[in-house]
Chain A
C-alpha cells in the first residue's frame, strides 16, 4: 500500500535553532515528491518539487533533499514566521493525484 509518513508530528524550536523534518514514503513508480507549507485556515503553499534521488533545492532558510526512501526538509536558523504545518506529498505512476502525509506542525518561538 502506498504510504507517506512524516515525522515528527510536531516540532518546537527556538528562533535560530536549526532542525530537519522527515518524510518517508513507500510508493512504487515515484514521479515526484513535493513539499508544501500550510498556515491555519489557508490552502497549502507550494515550496519544492524533487524528482530524483540526490536532488536538492533551496529557498531562503529551507532546503529539501531526496533519497530513494525519504526526503528531508532542513530549516536553518528558523524565525517565528516559519511557524506552519509542512506537508509532504508524492506523485506516483500514471496517476494525477498527490498522496499526502499528515504533516509536521512547526512552532518557532522568539
Chain B
C-alpha cells in the first residue's frame, strides 16, 4: 500500500512569491492535515481537511491556505512568502480523523525562502 506522497520534495522561492504544495494521502484515507516543522518551534498544526471541508485550523496567518479535492488529495498555498516561512511542511493522512486517530506522515516538502 502506497504511503503519503508529497510533491515537490524541495523548493526554493523568493520572498514575496507564492507557493503551492501537494499531498496525496494513503488510499482510503479521508482526513489530511498539514504541519509546519522548524528547529525552533517544532511541529505546528496548520489545518485539517476532511471530505473537502476544513475542519480545524491552527494559529497561522491567512497567507496560509489549503484545499482538498474529491479524491482526498490536498494542496496548501502560501502567499507573499516571508523568510520565516522556510520550513519542512508535512502532510499527514488518517482514515477518519476522529476516533482511532493514527496519522501517517509523508516525507515532507522542504521550502527555503530567500
Q: Evaluate contact between A43 and B101: CB separation under 8 angstroms.
A: no
Across chains A and B, the number of contacting residue pairs, with CB separation under 8 Å, is: 59
CB-CB nearest in chain B for A6: B42
Instruction: Classify chain A: how many residues form its interface, as a range.
Output: 20 to 34
The distance in angstroms between the C-alpha atoms of A6 and B50, with both chains bound, is 30
Q: Does A49 belong to the interface (CB within 8 Å)?
A: yes
Q: How far is the CA of A91 from the CA of B101 in the complex (A)?
A: 8
Q: In this assembly, does A87 line the interface, its C-beta being within 8 Å of a C-beta of chain B?
A: yes
Contacts of A95 in B (CB 8 A): 56
Q: Tell whether A43 pairs with B108 under 8 Å between CB atoms, given A31-B101, A87-B43.
A: yes
Report A110 CB to chain B, min CB distance, Å: 27
Binds B, one of A18-26, A60-68, A69-77, A96-104: A96-104
